[in-house]
Amino acid sequence: MEDATLRSIGVSEEEMDTYMNSLKTGIGNEDNHVCICGHLMRRHESNEAGICCNVSRSWCDCSAPLPVIEPDRVKPFQFASTGHGKRHALTKGLYALRKEGYKARWLIEIACFKCKTTNQPIHPAPLNRSGRVTNAPGHRNVLLCQPCIDEIGGVFYH
Protein backbone atom coordinates (compact mmCIF):
# COMPACT_ATOMS: atom_id res chain seq x y z
CA MET A 1 0.00 0.00 0.00
CA GLU A 2 1.22 3.46 -0.84
CA ASP A 3 1.08 6.47 1.49
CA ALA A 4 -2.11 8.50 1.51
CA THR A 5 -1.04 12.01 0.47
CA LEU A 6 -2.75 15.12 -0.78
CA ARG A 7 -1.03 14.68 -4.14
CA SER A 8 -2.48 11.18 -4.45
CA ILE A 9 -5.96 12.73 -4.42
CA GLY A 10 -5.05 15.58 -6.76
CA VAL A 11 -4.60 18.43 -4.29
CA SER A 12 -1.40 20.35 -3.55
CA GLU A 13 -0.37 21.37 -0.06
CA GLU A 14 -0.38 25.03 -1.19
CA GLU A 15 -4.01 24.71 -2.36
CA MET A 16 -4.97 23.22 1.01
CA ASP A 17 -3.10 25.96 2.92
CA THR A 18 -4.99 28.62 0.96
CA TYR A 19 -8.34 26.88 1.38
CA MET A 20 -7.94 26.18 5.12
CA ASN A 21 -6.87 29.81 5.67
CA SER A 22 -9.97 30.99 3.79
CA LEU A 23 -12.16 28.99 6.17
CA LYS A 24 -10.57 30.79 9.12
CA THR A 25 -10.46 34.31 7.71
CA GLY A 26 -13.28 34.25 5.18
CA ILE A 27 -10.93 35.74 2.57
CA GLY A 28 -10.92 33.58 -0.54
CA ASN A 29 -14.00 31.66 0.65
CA GLU A 30 -16.69 32.07 -2.02
CA ASP A 31 -19.46 31.43 0.54
CA ASN A 32 -18.35 34.64 2.28
CA HIS A 33 -18.59 36.78 -0.84
CA VAL A 34 -21.38 39.33 -0.74
CA CYS A 35 -24.06 39.27 -3.41
CA ILE A 36 -25.24 42.39 -5.20
CA CYS A 37 -28.40 42.15 -3.04
CA GLY A 38 -26.17 42.98 -0.04
CA HIS A 39 -26.24 39.53 1.59
CA LEU A 40 -23.78 36.65 1.82
CA MET A 41 -23.76 34.19 -1.05
CA ARG A 42 -24.16 31.34 1.45
CA ARG A 43 -27.56 32.75 2.46
CA HIS A 44 -29.02 32.09 -1.01
CA GLU A 45 -31.19 29.03 -1.43
CA SER A 46 -32.75 27.46 -4.46
CA ASN A 47 -36.24 26.00 -4.13
CA GLU A 48 -39.27 25.25 -6.31
CA ALA A 49 -40.18 28.96 -6.34
CA GLY A 50 -36.71 30.04 -7.52
CA ILE A 51 -33.80 31.57 -5.64
CA CYS A 52 -34.07 33.69 -2.50
CA CYS A 53 -31.93 34.52 0.50
CA ASN A 54 -32.65 34.39 4.20
CA VAL A 55 -30.98 37.06 6.30
CA SER A 56 -31.44 38.18 9.89
CA ARG A 57 -35.10 37.19 10.27
CA SER A 58 -36.02 38.61 6.88
CA TRP A 59 -36.35 37.33 3.34
CA CYS A 60 -34.85 38.73 0.14
CA ASP A 61 -36.29 37.77 -3.26
CA CYS A 62 -32.91 37.70 -5.00
CA SER A 63 -33.53 35.82 -8.25
CA ALA A 64 -30.11 36.54 -9.81
CA PRO A 65 -27.31 36.20 -7.23
CA LEU A 66 -24.05 37.82 -8.28
CA PRO A 67 -21.00 37.96 -5.97
CA VAL A 68 -19.70 41.55 -6.02
CA ILE A 69 -17.46 42.04 -2.97
CA GLU A 70 -15.21 40.05 -0.68
CA PRO A 71 -15.25 41.63 2.80
CA ASP A 72 -12.71 41.20 5.60
CA ARG A 73 -15.68 40.56 7.92
CA VAL A 74 -19.14 39.24 7.02
CA LYS A 75 -21.30 40.18 10.02
CA PRO A 76 -22.25 43.70 8.80
CA PHE A 77 -24.10 42.34 5.76
CA GLN A 78 -27.48 41.73 7.41
CA PHE A 79 -29.50 44.76 6.37
CA ALA A 80 -32.65 44.89 4.24
CA SER A 81 -32.91 47.07 1.14
CA THR A 82 -35.41 49.90 1.41
CA GLY A 83 -34.49 51.60 -1.85
CA HIS A 84 -31.50 52.42 -4.05
CA GLY A 85 -28.20 54.10 -3.16
CA LYS A 86 -27.85 54.71 0.59
CA ARG A 87 -31.06 52.75 1.25
CA HIS A 88 -29.75 49.54 -0.37
CA ALA A 89 -28.53 46.62 1.78
CA LEU A 90 -25.15 46.54 -0.02
CA THR A 91 -24.50 50.21 0.81
CA LYS A 92 -25.61 49.77 4.43
CA GLY A 93 -23.37 46.72 4.82
CA LEU A 94 -20.34 48.47 3.32
CA TYR A 95 -20.94 51.45 5.60
CA ALA A 96 -21.18 49.24 8.71
CA LEU A 97 -18.06 47.31 7.63
CA ARG A 98 -16.03 50.53 7.26
CA LYS A 99 -17.34 51.91 10.59
CA GLU A 100 -15.96 48.74 12.25
CA GLY A 101 -12.57 49.40 10.64
CA TYR A 102 -12.69 46.64 8.02
CA LYS A 103 -12.40 46.71 4.24
CA ALA A 104 -13.76 44.87 1.22
CA ARG A 105 -12.55 44.21 -2.31
CA TRP A 106 -14.68 44.47 -5.45
CA LEU A 107 -15.01 41.27 -7.46
CA ILE A 108 -16.59 43.01 -10.46
CA GLU A 109 -15.99 46.18 -12.43
CA ILE A 110 -18.03 49.07 -11.03
CA ALA A 111 -20.10 50.18 -14.01
CA CYS A 112 -23.74 50.88 -14.74
CA PHE A 113 -25.39 47.60 -15.73
CA LYS A 114 -27.62 49.43 -18.24
CA CYS A 115 -25.42 51.97 -20.08
CA LYS A 116 -22.00 50.63 -18.96
CA THR A 117 -20.74 54.07 -17.86
CA THR A 118 -17.94 54.22 -15.31
CA ASN A 119 -17.53 57.99 -15.15
CA GLN A 120 -20.55 58.74 -12.91
CA PRO A 121 -21.48 57.64 -9.40
CA ILE A 122 -22.93 54.13 -9.52
CA HIS A 123 -25.65 53.07 -7.07
CA PRO A 124 -26.95 49.63 -6.10
CA ALA A 125 -30.65 49.45 -6.93
CA PRO A 126 -33.34 46.84 -6.26
CA LEU A 127 -35.65 46.12 -9.18
CA ASN A 128 -39.14 44.67 -8.90
CA ARG A 129 -40.49 41.92 -11.17
CA SER A 130 -41.40 44.58 -13.76
CA GLY A 131 -37.78 45.79 -13.89
CA ARG A 132 -38.46 49.11 -12.14
CA VAL A 133 -36.59 50.54 -9.16
CA THR A 134 -38.37 49.77 -5.89
CA ASN A 135 -38.25 50.67 -2.19
CA ALA A 136 -38.25 47.01 -1.16
CA PRO A 137 -35.80 44.13 -1.50
CA GLY A 138 -35.46 43.53 -5.22
CA HIS A 139 -36.40 40.58 -7.36
CA ARG A 140 -33.16 41.54 -9.09
CA ASN A 141 -30.45 43.94 -7.94
CA VAL A 142 -28.22 45.96 -10.24
CA LEU A 143 -25.70 48.80 -10.25
CA LEU A 144 -27.03 51.89 -12.04
CA CYS A 145 -26.00 55.48 -12.66
CA GLN A 146 -28.53 58.18 -11.71
CA PRO A 147 -29.59 58.92 -15.32
CA CYS A 148 -30.46 55.23 -15.80
CA ILE A 149 -32.31 55.14 -12.46
CA ASP A 150 -34.33 58.14 -13.66
CA GLU A 151 -34.95 56.50 -17.04
CA ILE A 152 -36.06 53.15 -15.57
CA GLY A 153 -38.24 54.90 -13.02
CA GLY A 154 -40.29 53.17 -10.38
CA VAL A 155 -41.49 53.72 -6.87
CA PHE A 156 -38.72 55.39 -4.92
CA TYR A 157 -37.90 58.45 -2.87
CA HIS A 158 -34.58 60.29 -2.73
User: Which residue numbers in the chain have pLDDT < 70?
Assistant: 23-28, 48-59, 155-158
Q: Which residues make Cβ contacts (< 8 Å) with residue 15, sequence separation at least 6?
A: none
Return the pLDDT at 87: 95
Task: Check: CB of residue 118 under 8 Å from CB of residue 109.
Answer: yes
Strand partners, 40: 34
Return the pLDDT at 141: 93
Return the pLDDT at 67: 92
- The residues spanned by each domain of the chain are 8-152
